[in-house]
Amino acid sequence: MARSGYEALFHLVGEDASYLQQRIQGLNRDVRSKGGIAIGIHVRHGDLHPLEPQYKDSYIPLDVYAKRTSTIFHAHLQQAHGDTALSQSMASHAKVMLASDDPDVYTSFELGGAERAQSYIALA
């Protein structure tokens, strides 16, 4: 019984499962089917411990996320092998999806062009 309860934590049901399916279908239609890439970023700041001296250096700065996203994006564009039209299509249909428990991340300069991964539940 405990195991089934534990496993149930990792399976979406009802409206949550429906929302996820719709979101995936939308990304497939708007991004992937047109050669784009969806890059997902999850920035977790928890209880905002960086405000406490002992934790100030324990979080990854947002510019590191932005640089890594750029690296992944440019690696994706390399698949066009010099085809300018394909490269432009891939670039124009790319999307960066952002999830965070810190509302300041969504308005940060470093990740300002990202779209919220979901708008169904707003925790931040």
Q: Which of 60-70 are b and which e, b meaning 16 or more Cβ less than 10 Å from the residue's Cβ? A: eebeebbeebe
pLDDT tens-digit readout, 81-117: 888 888 888 889 999 999 998 888 999 999 988 999 8
Segment holding 96, helix H or strand E? strand 95-100
Measure Cα distances from 106 to 7, 33, 40, 80, 110 in Å. 31, 27, 13, 31, 9
| C-alpha atoms less than 13 angstroms from C-alpha of 64 in its C-beta half-sphere | 5
Q: What is the mean pLDDT of the chain?
A: 85
Q: What integer pLDDT is reported at residue 123 of this predicted model?
A: 52
Question: pTM here?
Answer: 0.76
Residue type, 57: D
Residue 124 has pLDDT above 60, yes or no: no
Query: CB within 8 A of 94, min separation 6: which ones?
Result: 31, 36, 37, 38, 39, 73, 76
Helix (H) or strand (E) holding 71: helix 62-77
